[in-house]
Amino acid sequence: MSGWYLYMVRCRGGNLYTGIATDVERRFADHQANKGAKYLRGKGRLKLVFKKRIDSHSLALKIEIRVKRLSKHKKERLVSTGIGIEEMLRKIKP
């Protein structure tokens, strides 16, 4: 069964990149090989720091937008504890 995932990657400078994919490991390998998101090209050593399965592509896109709008502090809390993602899902799901 395939599904969509929200994932976050930490760059060398500490910045967090947020994306969605059906195969996070393949997508992360693309990022490490400087394929995929231009934002991550040349950002040095990358680390996959967060991954959460989401039910559908549509829902994953909506969550991605919300996470990208979070403050750095809230993104860091999400990465370290996962707190906040379930609340976002509840607010979006019908």
pLDDT at 46: 92
- φ, ψ of residue 21 to 5 degrees: the values are -165, 160
What domain range includes position 87? 4-92
Element containing residue 54 per DSSP (H, E): strand 47-54
pLDDT-based confidence at residue 94 (cuts at 50, 70, 90): low
pLDDT at 86: 82
Residue 57 pLDDT greater than 90, yes or no: yes
pLDDT digits (tens, 9 = 90+) for 9-56: 999 889 999 999 999 999 999 998 888 788 888 777 899 999 999 989
Q: What is the pTM of this model?
A: 0.89
- φ, ψ of residue 30 to 5 degrees: the values are -60, -45
**Count: domains in the chain:** 1
How many Å apart are CA 58 and CA 11, to the nearest integer?
26
How many Å apart are CA 22 and CA 37, to the nearest integer?
15
CATH code where residue 60 lies: 3.40.1440.10
pLDDT at 36: 78
